[in-house]
Chains A and B, each alone.
Chain A
């Protein structure tokens, strides 16, 4: 995973995104480890174009799909789909149009914190948003991290008083 390069590519292309998932957990202070990056992106025509052009140099292809399966990550494909699990030269990256328990990009943006990461102002899903998302996802691996996230939120609130 190439976090800085990925953020730079999205940032430089003015892609509207919120960092979510395991990477957002770590950015909020969790000790959880992850190998991929997850983003919630804005579902607008302009953002489809920006996202496609930002990723084009990194050869996005569908993760887990046969190599010969034709796939083009362009604005039309993004418009037709919603959630994309990609393999790129930057590593595994997922782009979600909607996050369970949170909603679309507008809702994710409202539930995010702005952090300066490598000199870039990035939106990162808040601890409250991450807890809602994990509860809504409901898989064992999601539920397993809730005590940590809730403890982290409690620790942060109490220590900042």
Chain B
């Protein structure tokens, strides 16, 4: 995503066109700022974010399992 496209995207998420899928997503509760951030990344950066997110999810799940097993 170029700088111009990013600016356009930020304007769009601030005021999504009425009746658009973007407006529907916003109404549904989707955090549109995260989408712009992700689109600003290169595919490799997105892949690294994906791997880090998976590691965090796994760590949280294991911590939950340890907590429940102690109770």
Contacts and interface: CB of A to CB of B under 8 A. Distances in A.
A154 B35 contact: no
A116 B55 CA distance: 22
A118 B47 contact: yes
A31 B31 contact: yes
B54 A147 contact: no
Given A4-B47, A31-B34, A33-B53, A158 B12 contact: yes
Interface in A104-123: 115-119
Nearest to B39: A29
Interface in A143-159: 147-148, 150-156, 158-159
Contacts of B9: 155, 158-159
B55 to A, nearest CB: 8
Nearest to B41: A29
B50 A156 contact: no
Contact of B32 (A2, A23, A118, A151): A151
Contacts of B55: 1
A14 interface: no
B8 to A, nearest CB: 5
B15 to A, nearest CB: 12
A1 B8 contact: no
Contacts of A23: 50
Main secondary structure of the interface of B (DSSP, over half): helix
Nearest to B1: A159
A93 to B, nearest CB: 12
A27 interface: yes
Interface string A15-41: 000000001001101110111000000
Interface in B41-56: 43-44, 46-47, 49-51, 53-55
Given A27-B47, A156-B39, A34 B54 contact: yes
A3 interface: yes
Contact of A35 (B22, B32, B54): B54
Interface of A: 1-4, 23, 26-27, 29-31, 33-35, 91, 115-119, 124, 147-148, 150-156, 158-161
- The 8 lowest CB-CB distance pairs between A and B, nearest first, are A151-B25, A159-B9, A154-B21, A31-B34, A147-B28, A115-B43, A1-B54, A150-B21
